[in-house]
A = this chain, B = another copy of it.
Amino acid sequence: MLSDRQLVVFRAIIDDFIASAQPVGSRSISEKEHITVSPATIRNIMAELEEVGFLEKTHSSSGRIPSEKGYRYYVDHVIQPSIIQHQQVDVIKHLLQDGIVEFEQIVQLSAEVLSELTNYTSIILGPQMFETKLKQIQIVPLSKHSAVAILVTNTGHVEHRSFTIPEEYKVADLEKLVNILNERLRGVPIAHLSRQLDNEFFMMLQQHIQDVDTSLGYLKEVFMYDQPTKLYIGGKKNVLRQPEFHDMNKLYSFYSMMENEQEIIRLLTSEKEGIKVTIGNENEIDAIKDFSLITATYSFGQDDLGTIALLGPTRMEYQKVITLLQALSEEITDALYIFNTKQ
């Protein structure tokens, strides 16, 4: 689509703008080492690139800035699968391999490191536990009228919830119930728990315990929290370092969005594997229409996908960030695979 000449200039302009955040003039491009033509020639090429919609001017006599369409082309066709940023990935590699203590710690730390390496905001979405299975249910009574239900998964994840024991119940009843549940529910995917409770067990339980309705109601409530997908965010402060966001309204809507976990989860939840780049107005959410979002998936077990993402200005270091995310997602997948099989 673009001639070689155009491509060279286009890339130079994008790289320059990504670094400086300032409109790029023909002179500064012609002065670059690998470019030998005069500013006038650059201007002609720039005019061509503007013609196809890859560049824009901020005013009639200003330098050029890349358009969103330009970034899109850059990401899709210009970026080369480059040499992976070894030094950077290594930092995280060490984190992941050194001592895998707790999955959550790793992820939290990865998010922080990632945002420091890039100066953007990093978001990591914990895997959705489609494949995670119930290992054990336990109920620890705290007093006559309250108890904690604890739920352990095969991945070592622990969820818990305290609840009040209805008057008419006895601890013994609960224990009986838990025993039955443990026998029958062990190995059931977490995601199917509440459905399971509804279906097959209602009848069976009736044989053992009276007043099934209430007890089921309670248990369902305990297990129903719709699997809180955990979210780890690092470097929210980094938006403040970008000149394009030195604007209170943009900042406000950004930080508002960042306080709304549900929205972020919706934004990042992805079915497809691989890297996805959405640029500026391609984003559905208004608050980040000035941002670019790059997401990569990592796998957890065979079917579960988690997401790593970076959120920064449309003027983002796509090349660096994409290779970094790609490498990192593989690292995490590997680390989790080891983590999984060790168990």
Count A interface residues, CB 8 Å.
38
> What residues make up the interface of A, taking CB atoms closer than 8 Å to B?
101-102, 135-136, 138, 140, 142-143, 145-146, 148, 150, 152, 154-156, 158, 160-164, 234-237, 240-241, 246, 248, 251-252, 255-256, 258-259, 342-343
The answer to whether B143 and A343 touch across the interface, beta carbons within 8 angstroms, is yes
Q: Given contacts A140-B135, A164-B342, A343-B143, is CB(A156)–CB(B148) below 8 Å? A: yes
The answer to whether A156 and B142 touch across the interface, beta carbons within 8 angstroms, is yes
Find chain B residues with CB under 8 A from A158 CB.
Answer: 148, 150, 158, 160
**Number of this chain's copies in the complex:** 2
Extra pairs beyond A145-B343, A156-B162, A240-B248 (4, CB < 8 Å): A164-B342, A237-B255, A237-B256, A237-B258
Measured CB to CB, the nearest residue on chain B to A253 is B237
A158 to B246, CA, bound (A): 43
Q: 21 A-B Cβ contacts within 8 A?
A: A101-B163, A102-B161, A135-B140, A135-B142, A136-B140, A140-B152, A142-B155, A143-B343, A146-B156, A148-B152, A148-B156, A150-B150, A150-B152, A150-B158, A156-B162, A158-B160, A237-B255, A237-B256, A237-B259, A240-B252, A240-B255
Find chain B residues with CB under 8 A from A248 CB.
Answer: 240, 246
A137 to B102, CA, bound (A): 19
Find chain B residues with CB under 8 A from A145 CB.
Answer: 342-343
Which residue, of A136, A142, A241, has the highest number of chain B Cβ atoms within 10 A?
Answer: A142
A314 to B267, CA, bound (A): 37
The answer to whether A342 and B236 touch across the interface, beta carbons within 8 angstroms, is no
Find chain B residues with CB under 8 A from A255 CB.
Answer: 236-237, 240
